[in-house]
Amino acid sequence: MVTTTKSLFNVLAPNPNIIDTFHEMTRCLKLMQMDKLSMCMTMLKISGNKVQMSAAGMPPVFIYKSENQTIEEHVMRGMPLGTFSNFPYSLLESELSTGDTILLMTDGFPELFNDKKEMYGYRRARNIFEELAKETPEEIISKLKSAGSDWVNDNDPDDDVTFVVIKIK
């Protein structure tokens, strides 16, 4: 599924319309009849000082706004790719400024459980990102990984934990 979706992404990503891209990916995946397999994805299109985004079964996108030092939390409810044809995915847009920082992550990070069976949670993920947002992307990712590792006492996570950090210049 991952290889197929990556291939579709390479072919379809140049399409400027994220929603059309998601619909076409779903159409192709359904034609392959991979019963009960689906793919979650967040897609961004950054052009000038604007970002368009949509998500198929992914956590919120956090954008740190350097001008007023706040976090925008963009929740986009959407079914994973390959599940429902013509699902009404939402398309959100935000203006970007120099110094803004975008965080994309898989649900593996906020859904980490510690020894007490407490989940790390989206609020904690947002709060730590807010503390780290002025740092470089490499530092942010390193410190997020450390926070997750500390939360689980260096045990292996149950799910993948992936981060993408984009700093606007």
**Residues shown for the chain:** 169
Using only C-alpha atoms, the chain has a radius of gyration, in whole angstroms, of 17
Q: Which of 68, 79, 87 is nearest to 23 (CA)?
A: 87
More confident residue, 166 or 77: 166
**Tens digits of residue pLDDT in 93-119:** 999 999 999 999 999 999 999 999 999
Burial 5-21 (b: 16+ CB within 10 A, else e): beebeeebeeeeebbeb
In degrees, to the nearest 5, what angle opens at C-alpha 97 toward C-alphas 96 and 99?
120
Q: How many Cα atoms are found within 13 Å in the side-chain-facing hemisphere of 49?
A: 6
Per-residue model confidence (pLDDT) at position 70: 97
When pLDDT is cut at 50, 70 and 90, the band that residue 166 belongs to is very high
In the numeric block, the tokens 């919120």 are attached to 60
CB 94 within 8 A of CB 72: yes
**Tens digits of residue pLDDT in 72-101:** 999 998 999 999 999 999 999 999 999 999
What CATH code is carried by the domain that includes residue 72? 3.60.40.10
**Tens digits of residue pLDDT in 119-161:** 999 999 999 999 999 999 999 999 999 999 999 998 888 888 9
Range of the domain at 83: 2-167
**How many domains does the chain divide into?**
1
Q: How far apart are CA 125 and CA 110, in angstroms?
A: 6
Q: Chain centroid to CA 168: how far?
A: 17
**Tens digits of residue pLDDT in 4-48:** 998 999 999 889 999 999 999 999 999 898 878 999 999 999 999
